[in-house]
Every structure is written in C-alpha cells, then in structure tokens.
Amino acid sequence: MDYRVFGNQIVLRIDRGEEVMETIVKLCEKEKINLGSIVGLGAADHLVMGLYDVEKQEFSEIKLDKPLEITSIVGNITEMDGKPYLHVHINASDAEGHTYGGHLKAVRISGTSEIFITVIDGHVGREKDSITNTGLNLFKFD
C-alpha cells in the first residue's frame, strides 16, 4: 500500500497480495477517517462477496478464485463502536466476460488496485436497525 493526501482526497494504491477491505480499514485508522466515500478498480485473484436476504437477515456468500478484472468498487466509510465501518459493493468480470457483483466481504489484489477516497468533514455512525427490523446496520446521525 502507498497513498497520498490531496486536500480531502486520498489516492491509494493497493499492491499485489493485499486485501482491499483490510487495507482501507488500516488507512482509515491511521488517517483518522470516520466519514467518506470510496471508488476504485483493479485486478484480483480471490473474491468473497454476498447478497443480504432481508427476510432471513443473513448473507449468502459467493467465493471466486480466478483472475478477475475489478470494474468497480464503490462504497462508504462510517463508524460503528468506535471503529471504521466500511459498506462496499463490487463488480468484477472474468476472462469469459462473465460479470459478478455484490456486497464486498474480501478481495485480494493480483496486480494493483487504484482507490480514491473522499474524506467528508463530519460524523455518521451506525446502529442495528430498530425501526423496521431488517437486521442491517443503519446510518445513525448525531
């Protein structure tokens, strides 16, 4: 990992063998980021993503272990229990052009990943949904 800060923008390079979610959390802890948005792309060789079933209140999980082109990473950074909380989705395609997408749990970089983080001056937390009981961690505004 290497990165540079330009005002409220962070340009992040994630290197071969590094895991994207872990790397972004480490960066958030180091730079004390508790609110922001994430966009990126890259190449991967291991992907774990899911789909949340609101009725069952659980994630299904899909694991892919093959070369993938990450066509889009998009998400946000908030805070829950005093720690960075990432909510990130991913789209990726394989050599045959099959496209996969869902809630990102983990992705290991095979080449490089280029991530842009916009840091927002403010605070938004997360709390378990007590309004409609979806089981999701919803935005909590101060």
Name 83's Cβ contacts closer than 8 Å, sequence gap at least 6: 25, 29
Instruction: Report how far apart, in Å, the C-alpha atoms of 88 and of each of 49, 97, 114 are.
Output: 10, 22, 15
**pLDDT attached to residue 107:** 99
| The two structure tokens encoding residue 5 | 């800060």
What distance in Å separates the CA atoms of residue 72 and residue 42, rounded to the nearest whole number? 8
Q: What is the pLDDT of residue 6?
A: 99
| pLDDT the model gives residue 142 | 87
User: Domain 2-141 carries which CATH code?
Assistant: 3.30.1330.80
pTM, to two decimals: 0.96
Q: What is the pLDDT of residue 138?
A: 98
User: Over the chain (142 residues), what is each successive 10-residue block's mean pLDDT?
Assistant: 99 99 99 98 99 96 98 99 98 98 99 99 97 96 92
Which residues make beta-bridge pairs with 125? 79, 140
Residue ranges covered by each domain of the chain: 2-141
